[in-house]
Amino acid sequence: MTTQATDAHPVTVDFRTSPRRYRHWRLETDGPVATLTMDVDVHGGLVPGYELKLNSYDLGVDIELYDATQRLRFSHPEVKVVVVTSGKEKVFCAGANIRMLAAASHPWKVNFCKFTNETRNGIEDATANSGQVYIAALNGTASGGGYELALACDHIMLIDDRSSVVSLPELPLLGVLPGTGGLTRVTDKRHVRRDLADYFATRPEGIGGRKAVAWRLVDELVPRAQWQEKVSERAVATAQRSARAAAGGGPGIELTPLDKTRSGDAIGYAYVSATLDSERGVAEITVTGPDAEVPSAIADTRALGARFWTLAMTRELDDLILDLRTNEPEIGTWVFRTRGDAARVLGYDALLLDNRDDWLANEIIGYLKRTLKRLDVTSRSLIALIEPGSCFAGSLLELALAADRSYMLDGPPPDDPDSKERAAICLGPANIGPLPMADGPGSPAAPLPMANGLSRLATRFYSDKSGFTAAADAAGRDIEAAEAEELGLVTFAPDDIDWDEEVRIAVEERSSFSPDALTGMEANYRFTGPETTETKIFGRLSAWQNWIFYRPNASGPDGALRKYGTGQRADFDRKRA
Amino acid sequence: MTTQATDAHPVTVDFRTSPRRYRHWRLETDGPVATLTMDVDVHGGLVPGYELKLNSYDLGVDIELYDATQRLRFSHPEVKVVVVTSGKEKVFCAGANIRMLAAASHPWKVNFCKFTNETRNGIEDATANSGQVYIAALNGTASGGGYELALACDHIMLIDDRSSVVSLPELPLLGVLPGTGGLTRVTDKRHVRRDLADYFATRPEGIGGRKAVAWRLVDELVPRAQWQEKVSERAVATAQRSARAAAGGGPGIELTPLDKTRSGDAIGYAYVSATLDSERGVAEITVTGPDAEVPSAIADTRALGARFWTLAMTRELDDLILDLRTNEPEIGTWVFRTRGDAARVLGYDALLLDNRDDWLANEIIGYLKRTLKRLDVTSRSLIALIEPGSCFAGSLLELALAADRSYMLDGPPPDDPDSKERAAICLGPANIGPLPMADGPGSPAAPLPMANGLSRLATRFYSDKSGFTAAADAAGRDIEAAEAEELGLVTFAPDDIDWDEEVRIAVEERSSFSPDALTGMEANYRFTGPETTETKIFGRLSAWQNWIFYRPNASGPDGALRKYGTGQRADFDRKRA
């Protein structure tokens, strides 16, 4: 398969932005109602070679959307409803830009879809867990990814102007699937009957009017003349019903620009750093614990704002994950270390978890949850190294629990054999919910669940109740290497004589395997247990889409993606597989 | 990607066989204990070009295994335990043959994996629903698909001879995934911790001895000297615990050779027929209802044996599905019709369902269930046409409920406008369990569940309780087209004026779409709702495997599958996607 322009994309993509720099979205708030208006700059594509007509989007457009959803949560606690609409006439959004997709390399396409999916899952998360309810106000046609954006909203209003429709034209026009959860959400979330959903997804001209309501594709059809009024009414009524408390306690905090340094082989922030070894295909990532005592009261977190350790660290980790995923596809193994004071990490956790009714505490925990989920769906091998001086405790222990494998040194630091210092890990409420652990595995109280709805600890001991209980019983105290291995909390616990060699082999071996097979294996193992819309999107829908994207029927010279808009028909290999 | 010898495979694969024709397996019974011995004929490959060394298998070997599992259920009701073992020294089974896989076309690989998965799911089904408990007696190393065969068994015994191990070497040696459920069963069924499972699946030399037991990879380690004795003891003890009734009522029935005719464009059996239109890519399949009155007592079914309508029809349908899937990859759309007396179909259903404690009735229902599941995972578009004279009632209505779309004619037959005959469908206990329907959607009593554990009707109305109830309330009576559409039981109900045109467009349109995208869409829509090991295998694991199979890192000229055994290393594109 030929790779295209974006394969050697000329820019290192930067995920940092802010509303004043947006080119494609407007974010306005009016008391409890925010309006997010999509008005894509046709000439504002992230890489050259395509025009973003009809509110179609590329990664750059979606980076702004992600930024807006984050700022709504942190800087606008008064907002209870977010109306997503379009600044164009007669078109809401035409979905991902086809020429961009046709020219993109396979890894770029896959990574782009993953990020856009995460942002849409985040919209659902804001609706469910922050009481910021998203309403899609479709003032024109929503096709493909445009309709999928609407599907992520809690309520879909469609203008009744005899021309606006919703559609999923990917299959008939492009020979691919809707890439951001459309198939799953149509049936599993909106309960469109599957045979009607089949018809809908093969009909490029879409469905509007009363049929769209009858089939549950949209919730409401609004006459053109009453559009503004009905959208306002809906927003106000939704705000009144919102579970969000009355912005208990003052204004939001500012998400100040991330202080980041980046060279070819190093990325640094205040609490997170990474060194990149292109030859070995390895990123060595270190997360540093809090550098200050735990604030004495939750109100202090508001004054600290973006400098508060948990929030600062989470923002940095989030940016690093996005940066490495997008810009460093050949760095296939991420090795995680931590450094710092475990007790402080637990103290910061406790401050947040004891104050979950505080809106900011709730947002910080939720953001850490989403960032760890982003790690879970990252197509890189994750290895945690637990050494003396580390602070894999509570929220930071989740990094080790998210890893495909963890190695814990059973002995002194290799470079200081006389040291009495030993590595220890510590489970806390961030890992298993309020202590003492009452609800058993899968406790809904676990504050950092994976996409499958379970905590990483419960997933680790899936259906092994006694293993889970033994581990959870050890919560709140330091666990050294031999016991951690015995309890099944780490994969291996080599002693100081074997440590270097064993870790080296684990990392090098990873680089020798097929990157594709590793991605497939990890995607399967990381989602043991129950399934949710999210796991279906990342575990199943994405896998099919990756396959379809890669096949010549879509991406080959005669494939549908490449022939779109040329006036020529795609030439399909008709063999079913 | 270059396709290989088997792409234009010289033989039309025939799935019909019987124990006396086996080349690779021996089936022996001794009272309640059956032994299935794998002893693959090195030179007995289905197509030329590879040797089946070390009990490695190809489709031909697995066709015999499938036949054996079916005959155990129908011809050996006295069997309560099936011991699966090897006739070779020191090797149980080396899994799917690598040279066969390396040379196979992509559709062949995918279809091969699907069939082998179905057979292993059938082994678990026999253990769970027929009380024929499978024990894997690994008298030598079980690698890859060999270990996956063991994973499908209820209990795994491994010989302790200091050399025999279990392994999943696909990832490190071949750059692909274990293709028959290995990753899912290791974690979700056997509860191997996911980090240990990761280590295991990257270690081509495998794991044996006490570690294999401690990690739950096997259940039991048996010293070489006690092997025969311990296997016998285990078999006898398992038989004593079996839920299977004492073979209530005489000997098994013979699965007589299927009477089948096949030409390039037609396949015929007694109750099932298909005409193949290669140009349009369409198979028109007709299933005929019973040609005799319902037997008055369940005992009569034993006398009729393989001639009993439900069993005969199911066997024919099963063979047709396997034939078309394997031999006709370009026939992308299957159109289903039925013809016959709906009341008789319901009568046959009732005879079976009212006698589920009869072993043969239980087996026939279970076989129909598995055959319909095979249809659900078939990568072809399924369209049901419901016309006057059809008998889409009860068990045969499941064909329409399994379809991606159904069209029901609202009017007289197109060729006889004066006729008073109208199409009707009828829901019965086969669709929703015992009537009156008491347990609500997803009733465990539904006798023909899909892989997701729900009936097709419950899946259709997933989370739409009122829709399900309205449909179920109409059970037991004829439902004509307009009402069927209103109740959501069919997709569309065109009148006789529109019928021909609308059906023609639906079928032709299907042939114009990308076959890959159709496969992906159908695989997603068909599994709405809850997930099980089976849906994970077909919905997720298979999708990843298909993608990996297709990528050059596996199947390209320098890919791992092609380089295996050459002494050269694969050359990987290291970009993660």
pLDDT in tens, A473-497: 999 999 999 999 999 999 999 999 9
Looking at every residue in chain A, the average pLDDT score rounds to 93
Instruction: State ipTM.
Output: 0.93
Q: What is the pTM of this model?
A: 0.95
Q: Chain B: nearest CA to A130, how far in angstroms?
A: 25
The amino acid that residue B535 corresponds to is T
Q: Chain A: nearest CA to B476, how far in angstroms?
A: 23
Q: Edge-to-edge strand order for the sheet containing B140-143?
A: B90-93, B140-143, B166-167
- Tally C-beta pairs within 8 A across A and B: 273
Q: Chain B: nearest CA to A186, how far in angstroms?
A: 9
pLDDT tens, residue by residue, A509-519 = 999 999 999 99
Q: What is the structure's pLDDT at B572?
A: 95
Interface probe for B, chosen from A106, A112, A115, A195 (most Cβ of B below 10 Å), is: A195
On the CB side of A5, CA atoms within 13 Å amount to: 11
Say if residues A439 and A487 touch (Cβ distance below 8 Å). no
Interface probe for B, chosen from A6, A113, A114, A194 (most Cβ of B below 10 Å), is: A194
Q: Chain A: nearest CA to B363, how far in angstroms?
A: 30
More confident residue, A94 or A444: A94
pLDDT tens, residue by residue, A496-553 = 999 999 999 999 999 999 999 999 999 999 988 888 889 888 888 889 999 999 999 9
Q: Which residues pair with B261 in a beta bridge?
A: B268
Which of B513, B524, B576 is facing A172, going by the closest CB pair? B513
* Binary contact (B524, A540; C-beta < 8 A): yes
* Binary contact (A516, B403; C-beta < 8 A): no
Q: Which residues pair with B336 in a beta bridge?
A: B285, B384
The amino acid that residue A348 corresponds to is Y
CA–CA separation, A112 and A63 (whole Å)? 10
Q: What is the structure's pLDDT at A530?
A: 85
Which of B459, B461, B540 is facing A524, going by the closest CB pair? B540
On the CB side of B561, CA atoms within 13 Å amount to: 27
Which of B188, B329, B460 is facing A528, going by the closest CB pair? B188
Instruction: From chain B, pick out residues whose CB is under 8 angstroms from the CB of A461.
Output: 193
CA–CA separation, A444 and A466 (whole Å)? 19
Interface probe for B, chosen from A489, A562, A576 (most Cβ of B below 10 Å), is: A576
CA–CA separation, A464 and A469 (whole Å)? 9
Q: Chain B: nearest CA to A564, how far in angstroms?
A: 13
* Binary contact (A554, B514; C-beta < 8 A): yes
Q: Chain A: nearest CA to B512, how far in angstroms?
A: 8
pLDDT tens, residue by residue, A347-403 = 999 999 999 999 999 999 999 999 999 999 999 999 999 999 999 999 999 999 999
Question: How far from the centroid of its chain's Cα atoms is residue B163's Cα?
Answer: 34
In chain A, the residue whose alpha carbon lies closest to the alpha carbon of B178 is A521
Instruction: From chain A, pick out residues whose CB is under 8 angstroms from the CB of B196.
Output: 491
On the CB side of A375, CA atoms within 13 Å amount to: 32
Q: What is the structure's pLDDT at A4?
A: 38
Q: What is the structure's pLDDT at A6?
A: 44
Residues in chain B with pLDDT values less than 70: 1-10, 245-250, 435-445
Q: What is the structure's pLDDT at A540?
A: 86
Q: What is the structure's pLDDT at B250?
A: 67
Q: Chain A: nearest CA to B308, how far in angstroms?
A: 33
Which residues of A139-263 form beta strands (DSSP E)?
140-143, 155-160, 166-167, 220-223, 261-262
Q: What is the structure's pLDDT at B442?
A: 45
Instruction: From chain B, pick out residues whose CB is under 8 angstroms from the CB of A379.
Output: 576-577
Q: Chain A: nearest CA to B526, how far in angstroms?
A: 7
Instruction: From chain B, pick out residues whose CB is under 8 angstroms from the CB of A488.
Output: 193
The band of A8, judged by pLDDT with boundaries at 50, 70 and 90, is: very low
Which residues of A251-304 form beta strands (DSSP E)?
261-262, 266-268, 272-277, 282-288
Cis peptide, bond prior to residue B557, ω within 30 of zero: no
* Binary contact (B201, A521; C-beta < 8 A): yes
Residues 6+ apart with CB under 8 A from B149: B84, B93, B120, B136, B142, B180
Which of A199, A541, A553 is facing B524, going by the closest CB pair? A541
Which of B187, B331, B574 is facing A332, going by the closest CB pair? B574
Q: What is the structure's pLDDT at B387?
A: 98
Other beta carbons within 10 Å of A25: 20
Residue A407 vs residues A37, A384, A385: alpha-carbon distances, Å? 48, 6, 5
Which of B199, B202, B551 is facing A516, going by the closest CB pair? B551
Over the Cα atoms of chain A, what is R_g?
A: 24
Q: What is the structure's pLDDT at A323?
A: 98
Percentage of the residues of chain B whose pLDDT score is greater than 90:
89
In chain B, the residue whose alpha carbon lies closest to the alpha carbon of A114 is B577
* Binary contact (B188, A488; C-beta < 8 A): no
In chain A, the residue whose alpha carbon lies closest to the alpha carbon of B282 is A574
Residue B286: phi, psi to the nearest 5? -120, 130
Interface probe for B, chosen from A507, A544, A569 (most Cβ of B below 10 Å), is: A544
Residue A145 vs residues A33, A120, A573, B146: alpha-carbon distances, Å? 24, 10, 26, 43
Q: What is the structure's pLDDT at A3?
A: 32
Which of A171, A330, A575 is facing B521, going by the closest CB pair? A171
Which of A195, A460, A515 is facing B575, going by the closest CB pair? A515
* Binary contact (A191, B463; C-beta < 8 A): yes
β-strand A166-167 against A140-143: which pairing, if any?
Answer: parallel
CA–CA separation, A220 and A213 (whole Å)? 6
Instruction: From chain A, pick out residues whose CB is under 8 angstroms from the CB of B194.
Output: 404, 459-460, 525-526, 528
Which of A509, A519, A576 is facing B380, going by the closest CB pair? A576
pLDDT tens, residue by residue, A451-480 = 999 999 999 998 788 999 999 999 999 999
* Binary contact (B525, A183; C-beta < 8 A): yes
pLDDT tens, residue by residue, A146-170 = 999 999 999 999 999 999 999 999 9
Interface probe for A, chosen from B456, B457, B547 (most Cβ of A below 10 Å), is: B547
Task: State which H helix or E strand residue A312 sits in.
Answer: helix A309-327
Which of A105, A177, A547 is facing B521, going by the closest CB pair? A177
